[in-house]
Homo-oligomer: A and B are copies of this chain.
Amino acid sequence: MTRTRRRRPTLDDVADAVGVSRATVSNAYNRPDQLSARLREQVLRVAAELGYPGPDPTARSLATSRTGAIAVLLDTSLSMAFSEPALSVTLDALAQVVDPHGHALLLLPGGSPGGPPAAQVLGAQADIAVAYSLADGAPALDSVRARGLPLVVIDQPLLPGVARIGCQDRLGAALAARHLLDLGHRRFGIFAAHSRITPGGGELTTEEAGAAALHDVRERLAGYLGELGPRGAEVVVHEAAGLSTDSAMAGAFALLGRTPRPTALLCMTDQLALAVVSAAGQLGIAVPGELSVVGFDDSPPAGWSAPPLTTIRQDLAAKGRIAGELVLRLLDGGEVPAPAEVPVSLVVRGSTGPA
């Protein structure tokens, strides 16, 4: 008991107790082949007796310059982020891939536009960053670059030297629009996800819409309009006021309250589409009798609504998996691969019908 009590034992304490060098104890944990099995067992036993919980993660990180954590940069609060199944499915798939390699996710949510505050990013203990749908030019991305961390972006524009995975946003939107056009619709509403153009949501001109700060919003809009414009359809674009279900509902009522009411609504996410279906139900508007609705993502809830949602399917799990593989590859020192996109397809369910 000469040694100060209360202090957690360190590698040196174990080394002293066993009577070997510190390096040997380290090897006992990290390179079992570097010492005899007997000695290793003895080291481990003494460590257990001393209550040594194994090498300190921070010290180990400093020595190896690897932290084992992946910083995930979000531009919303956690509950917002996870109320959109798209993110949780994607992130989960990512986690499944990196988990076996011992990487954990360090969540950096960002209330403000532009993702988490720069200081947070600069101080985050991570080997690599994954940015999910941040606005163009988010300061968080600069911080990542300043630190020289590898970066994987999901649903964001391509940046030089950065790995990217996205989906065929424009094509998907075009498919949705075409489907409704083919059904004979001519009076359209586009329900755009919140992209901070209008502070509190509301109607957008097509010019404003084209300037959305979020890559996928821009692309999907372009896809819708590119299809609708040439066919001379009447179209109004409405931006949601936020990411919450409440703002989705508010926007849905606004769109359905217009006269003349659109007969077809192109919704940029399933969450928005489900809000529309729900609002229509409350207003006594028959879906798909009087109103056709198409979503985007094909997230799990799309199949559960009544009627089930016609939507654009993208393989969210695949997106997450690919992101995970990109992470592993970059961590392994691999080259930045060419940007990839998961394919989309139209899934016709019950929320669309003839005009």
**Which residues of the partner chain B approach A53 to less than 8 Å between Cβ atoms?**
122, 143, 146-148
B58 touches A125 (CB 8 A): yes
A88 touches B99 (CB 8 A): no
A278 interfacial contact with B, CB 8 Å: yes
Known contacts: A79-B88, A104-B107, A109-B99. The answer to whether A58 contacts B62 by CB under 8 A is yes
A85 touches B83 (CB 8 A): yes
Number of interface residues of A (CB under 8 A): 53
Residue of B nearest to A64 (CB): B58
B79 touches A102 (CB 8 A): no
A161 interfacial contact with B, CB 8 Å: no
A115 interfacial contact with B, CB 8 Å: no
Bound-state CA distance A138–B270 (Å) is 37
Residue of B nearest to A144 (CB): B53
A300 touches B89 (CB 8 A): no
Ranked nearest first, the 6 interchain pairs of A and B with the lowest CB-CB distance are A79-B92, A82-B88, A78-B92, A82-B82, A53-B146, A105-B107
Q: Can you name 8 A-B residue pairings with CB atoms under 8 Å?
A: A51-B146, A58-B62, A61-B125, A82-B92, A104-B106, A105-B107, A107-B107, A281-B306
Q: Apart from A78-B95, A95-B109, what are 11 other A-B pairs with CB-CB below 8 Å?
A: A8-B148, A51-B146, A61-B61, A69-B125, A78-B92, A79-B93, A83-B85, A99-B111, A105-B107, A245-B300, A281-B306
